[in-house]
Chain A
Amino acid sequence: MTRRIKPITTAAVIFFLVSAVAPLFVSSWATLFALILAKGIVVLGIVLLLQAGQVSFGHAMFFAIGAYTSAFWGKYIGGGDILLYLVLGGISSTVFGLIVGLFVVRYREIFFGMLNLAFSMVLWSLLEKMFPYTNGADGIRVARPGLLGFVFTPETFQYVILYVSLLIAAAAFYGVQRYLESPLGHMLRAIKSNETRLEYLGMSARRVLLIGYVISAFLGGIGGTLVAIIQQIATPEFGFWTKSGEFVFIAILGGGAHAFGAFAGAAMFEWVRFYAAAHLADSWQLILGVVLIVIILYAPNGLIGLRQRYRQSGKRGR
């Protein structure tokens, strides 16, 4: 297991370096990479739950909560700072994650997924319908915040938010990897492989899953906050079920077995969407759908699995 992780970690380091350097050459990539990293953070949370064999089809709710926390702060209190937004988004999504988590960790598999979906759809309808407070389907603008009191020009800002996202993404990646290697992380995996044994060992599977769930909600909230700052807007779409589907999609695309899958998947997804939307404006969904089918049918371990498969078949050949 550990031996297999190493080349992937190298790939992750290269990926983070490229994200840091490439946008210096093409300025529109700054936003693209910032988005990839922010979404990768959210998908990390999905990957985490996948370790326990659970799929949340409502994780966009935490994404939306993170985004709307900044939006509400800007709308009702005003001012704001990237750091403040992140702290607030982190807190609100953690609190929500804990509340929702207390209910959902009692269930597994499809029931787990369903209940998550149900909660997220309630949130979505509230964001849609509470027009006087949320501005309905149009969403709330998030004014460009400063960082630690500094105010930036738009040109600088896109790099500031890129590097903030990069820093958080790298930290989250490292943290999640450490967590998965820790005893708690192994217990989380045990929920998938043999939950009963976990219980026999005197561990509460619910508690183990709850911890994982709250962490993944926190990651969702942080990602949502970043995306809201990058896009300068929060809309109910952030919490719609297709968004949740997209996150699971990205996790499977990248490969759910390893934390780096989140970023590999996000990079692939945003890249295809960005360029397909640019050149084939009316068929980007089609292209993404076909890519997903091919991945599922022929590379079930996702993009990062491709490499392993290639190596294994090479070895066998030798």
Chain B
Amino acid sequence: MQYFKTALAAAAATAILAGAALAQGKPQEIKIGIATFLSGPASVFGVPAKAAAEMIAEDLNKKGGIGGVPVKLSFIDEGAGGEALVSNYRRIVQDDKVDATFAAISSGSCNQLVPVAEDLKVMNFMWDCGAASILEVKKYRYNFRTQANGTPEMLAVLIYLLKTKPDFKTIAVVNQDYAWGRESWEIFSTALKAMKPDVQVVAELFPKFGAPDYSTEVSRLLALRPDVVLTTAWGGDLDTLVRQAGQRGLLQQSTFVLGIGESSIQRLGKDLPEGLIVGARGDHWFLHPEKKNDPAFKAFNEAFKAKTGAWPIYPVYHMAQAFKALQTAYDKAIKANGGNWPTREQVVDATAGTEFATGFGRPVTLRPEDNQGLEAQLVGVTKSFPGYDFKLLDNMMIFDPRVITNPAGVRSVEWLKTLKPEFAKMDVPTFKQ
């Protein structure tokens, strides 16, 4: 019983402190709670993103913080499981009183946390999760997505495929069996049916998330000989699939499309052959053709490489975007408030409709109708270049988000069904590496 007494005492103390903190004015710090994967398979995204967040915050504070106020980060682990995630999220919002949260990576986590954020009236940036449906079914006030969603991401990859390999007749899909794997295929296949109805889908494989072995799937695809194999898998699953397929010649037999493969390129190293189509969930590439000579961009990439041993991948840039969005929103809110420190609600008001320069790619706009971010998409094809022990992207196309994102208020799938074959003939700038 002893610890209950202690707990009661702690409770009383917290209540007093909370009362004292109500005094207005410029706060001592802006507290940001970040939900990211620190354990489980998705920590391949979460851990680099955490490193990026720490780097960015340190840099930001060195420059005086946001509106002269330093930021302070706290992290919660998405990998700890639903219960721990929600209770920890509530803890940082209700007890630690964070000013904004960035949550989360997995669409499953977003599905859980978005309504909680709305309930608790705390501004939340969905900084990495991609399920389009979250913002399509309901209009939120406190939740924003500071990047694109699955629809433009998959559509960009599909249009790239249609432009570079217009004559394919058969396609197979191997996706992880969870919301992203299923939803990305629904987007891709719906759009494919609308724009190129003569293509035949020869196999739809959804191996279990985290499956250690794809040998049987590879055998089946080797026997089926599809012209194109699509996968939107990531992390260890994608690595395993690509290596098992490569070892047995499947990568050479069919054209592989790695929907979000940008994050695996460095790890796969020499095991990744040339000629694979790779998407990046946004215009994210550490040698972004429009940015690669920008000193700030180069400095960031090199600092990140020095800190973690690898070049940044898309979740790192997504994390940076969330920070930029927050910074822009605060600056806007301070200005609107006549230079005084804004209330939380004023910051939320200012966030809607914000356009912010990411510094690491093209600017992103938070569409005011549904708080969905409009983010450009980069797709390329793998190619060897001297000086790198992994493949780089070549023949990159950067897609305009306003063209390939479904309009606000129209559900993705409904919109995709209305696309015509001419849609794929849009003009897109191509960049050599």
Contacts and interface: CB of A to CB of B under 8 A. Distances in A.
B86 A278 contact: no
A28 B90 contact: yes
B209 A31 contact: no
Interface stretch (B108-116, B307-315, B323-331, B396-404): B108-116
Contacts of B168: none
A274 B83 CA distance: 10
- Chain A facing B: main interface SS: helix
A233 B91 contact: no
Nearest to B47: A282
Contacts of B28: none
Interface in B75-94: 75-77, 80-84, 86-88, 90-91, 94
Interface residues of B, number: 42
Contacts of B115: 141, 144, 232
A316 B118 CA distance: 59
Contacts of B39: 281-282
A231 B208 contact: no
A311 interface: no
A137 B207 CA distance: 12
A231 B83 contact: yes
B112 A281 contact: no
Contacts of A28: 87, 90-91, 94-95
Contact of A31 (B12, B75, B87): B87
B388 interface: no
A235 B77 contact: no
A75 interface: no
Interface string A151-179: 00011000000000000000000000000
Nearest to B86: A231
Contact of B177 (A136, A155, A273): A136
A277 B82 contact: no
B108 A139 contact: yes
A119 B201 CA distance: 35
B4 A22 contact: yes
Interface in A204-236: 227, 231-233, 235
A281 B179 contact: no
A23 to B, nearest CB: 9
Interface of A: 11, 14, 18, 22, 25-29, 31-32, 35, 128-129, 131, 135-139, 141, 144, 154-155, 227, 231-233, 235, 237, 271, 273-274, 277-278, 281-282, 284
